[in-house]
Amino acid sequence: MAAKKKAPKTMKKKPAARARSTARPTASRKSAAPTAKTLVKRQEPESLRFRSAAPSLTVNDIAKSLAWYRDVLGFTVKERWEQNGNLLGAELVAGGVTFYIGQDDWQKGRHRSKGVGFRVYCTTVQDIDALAGQIRARGGQLLEEPHDEEWGGRAFAVVDPDGFKITIAGD
């Protein structure tokens, strides 16, 4: 009997997606599997449910912003977008969070304000005071020093080169 050839990885079929219930349990998270009595029909039409969000920021100086997000905050550069040797943008990641930064094309004017009325909140399980100290050690300035929040967490804030505010809070 001839040996069966394996299909290349790119040719393998993906497993069929599991059907998801449109009902949700009303019991606490610690309870056993939901029963017919504990299921409640979801709102119709179905409400909006995101899985993630990623800010995309237009910046004045892409090289300066990329250096700040990478070298001061500690993001990792996942991807860079260039055209004719010019850096136009980048995808930055930190844990499960993605930020996109893109060079302003100046079509809306060279002196328009950025970051006004906008703040990104990021949460982490890392030590807030240690993170703030690391940012300071890498040359960053804090907009708000680490402090206790009313809800019991701890947070601090930074501002990027274009005025976008980022609050980093403990989970």
Beta bridge partners of 83: 86
Per-residue pLDDT tens for 84-109?
999 999 999 999 999 999 999 999 98
The torsion defined by the Cα of 106, 55, 93 and 9, in degrees rounded to 10, comes to: -100
| 100, 90 Cβ separation under 8 angstroms | yes
* pLDDT reported for residue 20: 47
pTM above 0.85, yes or no: no
Burial of 65 (0-12, 13-18, 19+ CB in 10 A): buried
Q: Are residues 66 and 101 in contact, defined by beta-carbon separation less than 8 angstroms? A: yes
User: Within a 13 Å sphere around the CA of 85, how many CA atoms are in the beta-carbon half?
Assistant: 0
List, in order of start, the domains of the chain with CATH numbers.
56-105+118-170 (3.10.180.10)
Q: What is the DSSP secondary structure assignment for residue 61, as one 8-state letter? A: -
Contact 159, 142 (CB under 8 A): no
Question: Which among 56, 65, 111 is positioned nearest to 87, based on CA atoms?
Answer: 65
Which tens digits make up the pLDDT trace of 12-39? 444 454 444 444 444 444 556 666 666 7
Mean pLDDT of all residues belonging to the chain: 84
